[in-house]
A and B are shown apart, each in its own frame.
Chain A
Amino acid sequence: MMGRRLLLWLDRMVAMTAKELKQLSRDPVLLIVIVYFFTVDIYVAGSGIQMDLKQAAIVVMDHDHSAASRDLIYRFRSPYFDLKGEISSEHEARELLDRGDVLAVLDIPADFQRDLMRGKSISVQMQVDASNATLGTLATTYAGQIVARFGQEQAEERLGLTEAQLQAVPVIQDRHRVYYNPNQTDPWFMSISELLTVITMLSLMLPAAAAVREKERGTIEQLAVSPLTPAQILFPKVLAMGMIILLGTAVSLFLVILPAFHLPIKGSLVLFFIVTALYVFATSGLGLFIATLSHNLGQVMMLVILIMMPLLLLSGAWTPPEAMPEALRIAMIFSPLSYFIEMGYGILLKGAGVAILWDSMLGLTLLGIVIFSFGVWRFKRQFN
Chain B
Amino acid sequence: MNISRIKAIAFKEWREILRDRLFFTMAFVVPVMTLLVLGYGLSLDVEHIPFSVIDYDKSAMSRDYLHRFIDSRYFDFQGEAAGERELDDLLADSRIRFAIIVPPRFQEQLLSGRPVAVQSLIDGVFPYRTQVSKGYVAAINANFSAELLSRHIAQTRGIREEQAAALVAPVRLESRYLYNQAIRSRWSMSSGLIMLVLMFAPPFLTALGVVRERENGSIYNIYASTVSRGEFILGKLLPYIAISALNILILWWLVIELFGAPFKGSLLFFFPASLIFVVCTTGIGLLVSLLVRTQAAAALLTMVITFIPAMLFSGLLVPVESMDRATQIEAHLFPAVYYLNIVWGSFLKGLGWSALWGNVMSLLIYAAIIWTISLLGFHKRPRK
Contact = CB atoms under 8 A, between A and B. Distances in A.
Contacts of A357: 93
A380 to B, nearest CB: 22
A157 to B, nearest CB: 10
Q: Most chain-A CB neighbours within 10 Å: which of B49, B142, B299?
A: B299
B106 to A, nearest CB: 9
B296 A144 contact: no
B181 A186 contact: no
Contact of A130 (B92, B183, B298): B183
Residue of A50, A120, A133, A320 contacting most chain B CB atoms (<10 Å): A133
B139 A144 contact: yes
B228 interface: no
Interface in A43-76: 44-45, 48-57, 72
Interface of A: 29, 32-33, 36, 41, 44-45, 48-57, 72, 82, 97-100, 103, 116, 119-138, 140-141, 143-145, 147-148, 150-152, 154-155, 158-159, 167-182, 184-186, 188-189, 293-294, 296-303, 305-306, 309-310, 312-314, 317-320, 322-325, 328, 342, 345-346, 349-352, 356-357
B204 to A, nearest CB: 9
Given A48-B312, A322-B76, A147 B173 contact: yes
A53 to B, nearest CB: 7
Nearest to A156: B168
A126 B176 contact: yes
Pick the 3 closest A-B CB pairs, nearest first: A298-B295, A181-B124, A184-B127
Interface in B42-66: 42-50, 65
B96 to A, nearest CB: 9
Interface string B108-152: 011111111111111111111111101101110110110011001
By CB atoms of chain B within 10 A, which of A29, A32, A168 has the most? Answer: A29
Nearest to A122: B171
A324 B113 contact: no
Given A130-B179, A151-B169, A189 B188 contact: no
A112 to B, nearest CB: 9
Interface of B: 22-23, 25-26, 29-30, 33-34, 36-38, 40-50, 65, 76, 89, 91-94, 97, 109-132, 134-135, 137-139, 141-142, 144-145, 148-149, 152-153, 163, 165-181, 183-189, 192, 208, 212, 215, 294-300, 304, 308, 312-313, 315, 317-319, 321-322, 341, 344-345, 348-349, 351, 355
A313 B36 CA distance: 9
A176 B120 contact: yes
Nearest to B65: A172
Nearest to B78: A322
Nearest to A55: B322
Contact of A154 (B47, B135, B171, B188): B171
Contacts of B176: 125-128
A130 B297 CA distance: 39
A148 B169 contact: yes
Nearest to B131: A184
Contacts of A328: 40
Nearest to B312: A48
Contacts of B318: 49-51
Contact of B113 (A144, A168, A320): A168
Contacts, number: 340
A191 to B, nearest CB: 12
A279 B280 CA distance: 40
Contact of A301 (B34, B112, B177, B300): B300
A357 B91 CA distance: 12
A176 B137 contact: yes
Given A136-B183, A305-B26, 17 more contacts: A44-B312, A121-B172, A147-B172, A148-B142, A152-B169, A170-B114, A176-B120, A180-B124, A184-B130, A296-B295, A301-B295, A309-B34, A309-B37, A319-B42, A320-B94, A345-B94, A349-B125
B152 A170 contact: yes
B134 A176 contact: yes
Given A29-B296, A100-B341, A322 B141 contact: no
5 contacts: A172-B118, A176-B119, A306-B30, A318-B41, A346-B92
A318 B33 CA distance: 17
A122 B37 contact: no
Given A133-B184, A134-B128, A356 B93 contact: yes
A186 B129 CA distance: 11
Contact of B125 (A155, A168, A180): A180
Given A133-B44, A177-B122, A352 B183 contact: no
A130 B296 CA distance: 40
Contacts of A57: 321
A172 B116 contact: yes
Given A124-B174, A144-B173, A313-B36, A189 B125 contact: yes
Given A128-B178, A301-B299, A29 B44 contact: no
B300 A151 contact: no
Contacts of A122: 170-172
A119 B170 contact: yes
B115 A174 contact: no
A55 B321 contact: yes
A168 B179 CA distance: 45
Given A125-B174, A170-B115, A294 B37 contact: no
A154 B23 CA distance: 66
Interface centre among A178, A185, A296 (most CB of B within 10 A): A178
Contact of B120 (A72, A120, A128, A175): A175
A33 B301 CA distance: 10
Contacts of A119: 163, 166-167, 170
Contacts of B125: 180-181, 189, 345, 349-350
B373 to A, nearest CB: 24
